[in-house]
Amino acid sequence: MTKIGKFITFEGPEGSGKSTQAAKLAERLKADGFEVIVTREPGGTAVGEAIRNILQHDSAGEGMPASTEILLFEASRAALMETVIKPALDKGTWVICDRFSDSTTVYQGYGRGYDIDTLLSLNETATQGAEPDLTILLDLEVDESFKRLEKRNSEAGTELDRMEREDRSFHERVRGGYLEIAAKFHGRCYIIDGSLDSDVVEEAVWSVVNDRFNGGMNED
């Protein structure tokens, strides 16, 4: 049996635990003998990380039109797909990504009101038509999201980034968008309650991965 690389994405509102759970899943897969890489959006490449700095931390020193924001996300995604994700999958490596194209659809579409069909077309170009084998949505109510962001930034001595500074209505639209996408693409998306204890979420994620890929996770 030949091990085939799988592409798993984590999505969810701010503070839902995506990065933590992506790392936990990677460690469990590695312990089972799989080759795994963890990456993130925006970022994951030198170009992508530079774009991330502009998008998250206002490093350009000025605001940006919605179309500019979208194209920067897509540019980062295209670089990640071409130089990291596709080569890894072709070698049979599992790829776990902290955010992917669903984030753009939700944040710039549902959140900012940009045309969804246009976003889907841009996403398809940037991803070369590739879709995750599995998307895990860590759902979190906005009140809890705000509490976690406040706690995290207080402990780290950091400030909210551009997306985190958006008002409550924006974040409510984002959460609603995620739930709508999960319902529409229920064959790919699984919802897990992100407010649960981290260890409980970890076990739920592991159960979903095993169920989705039939336990052995090997294919001819």
What is the per-residue pLDDT across 145-194, written as a single tens digit (0 to 9) for each? 999 999 998 998 888 888 899 999 999 999 999 999 999 999 999 999 99
Does domain 7-212 sit in CATH 3.30.70.240? no
Residue 1: predicted pLDDT: 33
HSE-CB of 105 using CA atoms within 13 angstroms: 20
Is residue 62 predicted with pLDDT exceeding 50? yes
The residues, ordered by sequence, that sit 6+ positions from 148 with a Cβ below 8 Å of its Cβ are 14, 15, 16, 140
C-alpha angle 109-87-48 in degrees, rounded to nearest 5:
45
Q: Encode pLDDT of 103-134 as tens digits.
A: 999 999 999 999 999 999 999 999 999 999 99
Cis peptide before 42 (omega within 30 of 0): yes
Q: Where are the domains of the chain?
A: 7-212
